[in-house]
Every structure is written in C-alpha cells, then in structure tokens.
Chains A and B, each alone.
Chain A
Amino acid sequence: MKTKKQPETAAALKRTIEALMDRGAVVRSLENLGDRALPYKISAHSQRHSRGGYFLVDFYAPTTAVESIMEHLSRDIDVIRPNVVKHPLTQEVKACEGIVPVPLEEKLYSTKKRK
C-alpha cells in the first residue's frame, strides 16, 4: 500500500510494478483506493504533501525480496509512503470465545505454605 501524487500516476505505477516483477514478485491485482487528502501532512523527498492517491498492490513474493522492494520504493520520488504488509486473508482466523470468567475466590488467598 503506498500513496502517490500527481497526474502521471500511470507511468509511476507501471514503473513500480515492473520493479516488483524484476525482483520476482507475481502481481495478483492492483486496486485504486481513491485520491483523497492525507490524514496528516507528510514530508517526503524534501516536499510536503497534503493530497495523495492510495494504491493497493496484491502480490506474491519471496521473503528475501521485501528489503530490496522497500529500498527501491523509498528511492522513488513519486511514492510518498511505501508499505509492505502481509496479506491479512492468509492468516488463519481463530474463533475468539470472548472474556473467559475466571473464578476469583481461588486467587483471594495465597497458596503459599505458611509456617
């Protein structure tokens, strides 16, 4: 997930996806999460940005490629904030039973042996 600015987003996007594929990433999909005002002003590459486009790139990549991807993205001027995150849907979802009531009477008195 990264944010970019300026109308030449198509060229910038193409550049980044090509860079991803060079490092052996298989791009599954690219989503545009819309252009909006950033929640706070971000300074990147000696410029203050207040508006950005949000793009979400779904890809498979070897774990070793993450560092080189992040390095490449941080060098790109058009990318304001690069982020690589594990895909949330691959994590197994455990059902949460909620707060389990603990019997507190056992904890009232200390179980240490007193002489």
Chain B
Amino acid sequence: MFCLSELEDTVRVPPSDLNLPLEVAIKKALQKLFLDKVLSIGLCVAIYGIKSIEGGFVLPGDGAATYKVVFRIVVFRPFVGEVIAAKFKESDSNGLRLTLGFFEDVYVPAPLIPTPNRCEPDPYNRNQMRWVWKYGDDEFIIDDSCQQIKFRVENISYPPVPTERAEDAKPFAPMVVTGTIDDDGLGPVSWWEACAPISDDED
C-alpha cells in the first residue's frame, strides 16, 4: 500500500522559522508542502527523512532562505492486484464508495459487484441507493453495517484538474482507486466469516 519515494525540491524556509534548528525548519516546510497532497506518484502520507540539504541562499527581495533538499516521503500508492480492507462510505446507482480514513476515493463500480445483484433505494436513508447481492436463496446487503469490506485494486487514475465545475459537483478527487469485490474472499468480511471454521472436505 505504501512505498518510499525519493524527491529533490527547492524549499523556502520562511524567516519566522529561521531560529529553529535547520532540519526541523526544513521538515516543517516540507510537511506544509507535501503532506496530504496528491503527487503524480500517489498520496503523500508522511515525511520519512531528509537525505541532504544544500544551499541556504537568500534571494534578493525575499527574507526567506532557499534550500535544495533531497528527502524521502512515504507515499500511499496501492499496486494493481492488492487486496485492501476498507469501510463503507456511501453508495449510489453507479456503485459503491469505500473509505480508508485517510483516503476516501475508492470506488467499486456496478460491474465489479458480484452478480446477480440489484440496486434498491435505501429504506433508512432517502438519498442513497443500496446494493444487494443475491446468492442462491439468500440476499446480502452492502451498507454501513458491514465492519470491513475487502476489495482488490483494479486501477488507479489521476484525473486532470478540471477547469470548470458545476456549483454542486462533488469536490474534485485528484486520485481515484477503482476496486472490485467480485471474487472469493472479497466484499464485506462478514460474508466469509461463516466459511472459516468449516473443516476440509476433499473433492
């Protein structure tokens, strides 16, 4: 889910931070710049460490010192085929939306929900639709009573920044993970809990 990335960047340390030890001031500036932002390599989660600092020049007209820093960050970038546990966030007629707490744009589109299924208006929540999986004679509901939902990553995309937006459009998601729950062991964990204690039966 996470990996390290080494980056090099020019960091500007504001004059108010110049009394702090250099590493602390640079780390503070790096955190402000990178933490919780999506780069082309993924979502930056934490600064791992600083490898080298160079420079410290003060450019004319500016009170801040500018440093060239090589540092490593922890990036959230799941690989395709990875199985991740998430929680239910909301669902609509296009599919499900799951959340990881720190990352909320995991979508499971309708074709990747196990079939046969149907989508019905949620009786408890007027604006939402609810997905129900029909297996044999039983029906399994997907909603926020599911503790954990496991999905497998199908694709990660970084939609380009839109130039215009409608007033009521959803906040722009710079990184979107598409997942599937259509396989053994995927989907709400409660669906499979009943299977675990079964003793082996050979074919």
Q: Do A and B make up one complex?
A: no
